[in-house]
Structure 1
Amino acid sequence: MAAINFKTLNDDDVNEFFNSFDTVLTDCDGVLWIDMRPMKNATQVISTFLELGKRVFYVTNNSTKSREEFVEKCKTLNFEATKDNILCTANLSACYLQDLGFNKKVYIIGSKAIAKELTEVGISHTGVGPDSIIENVPYRAFKKDPEVGAVIVGFDEHFNYPKMVKAASYLNDPNVHFIGTNTDERFPAANNVIIPGTGSLVRCIESCAERKAVIMGKPESYIADLLKKKYNVNPKRTLMIGDRHNTDILLGTRCGFKTLLVLTGVSKLHHITKWKRSKCPEEKEYIPDYYINTIGDLLPYLEKFKCKTITPST
């Protein structure tokens, strides 16, 4: 379906849209907030969805926070959240190994958040934090921990050559599980600085390990599988809201969700125009069902819909 500007829809179309889903999946960074600054009216939009009886899940590829830390951030920014409606890749990685009945140790390239989520499900781990280069010590002197049965690669500001050596060495055993939290390539920052994303680190380890990682985050299907299995979510009655075409929107397209692109993050209106003209089948999958400038622009439509839907008690 070609992208439809939400502002061009009439009242009947808007009502039909809000009646068409029971579950809302929303990305966080670039949609609900940027750093510690919430988008205008974003908190009211989420509150109104909840008032209308919609289930809301915060779905993020960010692996640097645990569910508990995301709940604290949501509370600080006045978003209603519990651990049960946070889907972050640190937790998804732990859930994946738990589903496998994994009982060994994990070598982590990543944050303390991954370690916290693994600890919560009783899985031991190693590797978090700096791994200094020791001069005059050959890398071939590294001795593998025989208890390590999985490698997880997430966002890691301490990423370096020793970590590559260890990850690739563990992964030389085909029985060792290889997990990547997500494949986001990079993030823009102030002053035209580019922050390499987790995808850059995952591809680096895939290259030296000569193996492909199992990816937890969007657009891969593990999130959708978990939502269906654990929360009984119906894909046909689900809306995915996001700002990035190759994670948020692609997840929705592949999994049969309705998709709404907000233009406050990575993907812009000129990208939609390009994808509509493209002859590449994959780029067609980036086209959202709807787009809107900011998530806060949903508020007047939601308020109108709420007035028609919720009858005041007498």
Structure 2
Amino acid sequence: MKVAAGKNRLGNWLLLGLIILAAAMLFSLIPLLYFYPPDVVLSFITLRPDERLASSLHYIYTIFVIIFFVDIAFIRHFWCRFMCVYKVWQHGFKTRQSLHVAYDEARSESCEKCNYCVTSCFLGIDPRDTNMYDSCINCGECIDACNELQEKKGEVGLLHFSLGAREQSRSGWLLGRLGSLSARMKWTLPFSLLGLGMFAWGLVSYEYYRLAVYRADAEFSSSIEDYRIRVSNKLYRDAVLTISIEGLPKGSYVLSAGEVRFDTAGKVDLELNINNTLPPGLHRFLVQVQSADGWRDSYRVQHFVSKGRG
């Protein structure tokens, strides 16, 4: 956007900066209300001592002010251009009958040297030549700008909202349809391919079974003695899973079951108890699971035995 020469002055820029800074300081108080009640935030604003205020709150508030200032001053329309959900849905369901900005070409001589509507459009498009699948979100800024300028001459604006079929493109009906299809595919094809790729990867990497090991709630002298082994079957069919322990001497542990049978999808918890025959120190062992159809997995556990339990 080009600033008019009459307004491109240091005083105007300083005034604009102060207004944006004041707005940023005001909006930055909103996140503080998520962590402090209003009376504490009021103490922060009035610089009144309050024990409930964190010592680092001024730094946090400064960071919020900077974020809001940059957002308002430089990237205030970033969301509208690239991430607005309304724009994406509007673009996806547009037709020739959808609401759009129309231009009165019969009075085109009234704006031969005027680009006020183009200047007012923050999306950078020419409102006088809109397409069915362009970046327009029908905000109406260009219409207001044109009306404001034409009112000074006692006339109505050349831009207005319109419903119904658009005028035939100069390049012809076929080229217009091909252009519309190309514009739509440019937006949707990358996301469609990404979604398809993620779906295919999910199918390839999907595991029918799952193994997890948790520490039991019971503790003795700050030492964990019991573990809970959870095996899950994600398929609605019967399955047999074999559980074994590797890395611990025989007789130093008791496993509640070495085999689990599933009739359908579900999960089963097994108990693993480690007795006090292990010497003090850190012991590493593996909980291994194998299915009848060849799937296998392991879970590494670190078990600590204190000197009082050895």
TM-score bracket for the superposition, by shorter chain length: under 0.3
Q: Name the one with the larger strand percent.
A: 2
Q: Name the one with the larger helix percent.
A: 1
Relative contact order (C-alpha < 8 Å, sep 6+): which is higher?
1
Q: Which has the larger radius of gyration?
A: 2
